[in-house]
Amino acid sequence: MNGDRSAAFAAAFFAQASSDWQTYEYLTRAPSLPRCHPLHYLQMACEKLGKAYRLRNPSANVDAIVTRHVGFAQFINEYLRSPPILEDYKGQSARHKTVCKTSSALAREIEKLAPAIDRTHSPENAEYPWERGEWDLGTGKVLVPCEYDYPALSLLDTQGGRAFVKLIERAFRDY
């Protein structure tokens, strides 16, 4: 019974994650578009992909997995240590370790893009405006996603970022 329910949710999350990922790829190629928009789809695709993998387990706690926003960073760590990825990097431990470090850091930053995650320490998200500074001291201001350049995610534009994107593509193919 739980197995049927988790399998149905897994398939549904995977389908939506695939659609979100296609939209992310489309938006990254769109000229003059604020960065928040592709990042929003990247965050949604990644969150749902991690959930889909987790829900493939017939004894998964469906309600806990479906309702929370964290779990993608953990999924990436586990996927990077899965037998198929270990085989890809056979004899290349140092390279594998580098990919793990970069991908894990990126996954944590992508996870934080969800508005519900860590609003106190990392209010930067891809959807809603947030505030910075102290209004009493005259330094308060409200920042807008469509005007923000997300420096914590500049890693996406590096070689490590491209390796991360390939890793996500591989996770979609492997599913």
> Where on the chain is the footprint of another protein (CB under 8 A)?
53-54, 56-57, 59-61, 64-65, 68, 70-71, 73-75, 77-84, 86-87, 89-90, 93, 96-97, 100, 104, 108, 111, 174
Cα-flanking dihedrals φ and ψ of residue 106, to 5°? Answer: -65, -40
User: Beta partners for 143?
Assistant: 130
Contact 129, 145 (CB under 8 A): yes
9/4 Cα distance (integer angstroms) = 9
Q: How far is the CB of 149 from another protein (least distance, A)?
A: 24
Closer to another protein by Cβ: residue 29 or 173: 173
Q: Which of 139, 122, 120, 140 is nearest to 131 (CA)?
A: 140
Q: Which is nearer to another protein, 12 or 28 (CB)?
A: 12
Task: Tell me the closest approach of the beta carbon of residue 171 to another protein, in angstroms.
Answer: 10
Give the shortest CB-57-to-another protein separation in angstroms. Answer: 6
